[in-house]
Amino acid sequence: MSLENKVMKEFHYTMSVKFTDFFKDVESAALSEKPSKDARITVLSQKFDKAKTKLNEANDDGTKSKNHQDSKGKAK
């Protein structure tokens, strides 16, 4: 593992966003179930929920070491 990737920080936000998409005709718009990759995105609001900083225990190939044990706790 390289020295630059020893610590990992995760940021958690709740966001309200608006997608604006454009279509050639009404039928295409009506059949669309989700925005395309070219849709414009506007962030309407955001709320910071939490941030977690921890040691990055993944190896260079992205796998966890044999000594790493995932927590077995239950969510509250």
What's the pLDDT score for residue 4? 75
**Residue 76 located in a structural domain:** no
**Residue 71 located in a structural domain:** no
Q: Are 58 and 2 in contact (CB under 8 A)?
A: no
* Owning domain of residue 17: 3-55
Q: Is the pLDDT of residue 42 over 90?
A: yes
**Residue 21 located in a structural domain:** yes
Q: Is the pLDDT of residue 47 over 80?
A: yes
**Residue 66 located in a structural domain:** no
What's the pLDDT score for residue 29? 96
Note the pTM of the prediction, 2 decimals: 0.54
**Residue 62 located in a structural domain:** no
| Backbone phi, psi, residue 37, to 5° | -70, -15
**Residue 64 located in a structural domain:** no
Domain count, the chain: 1
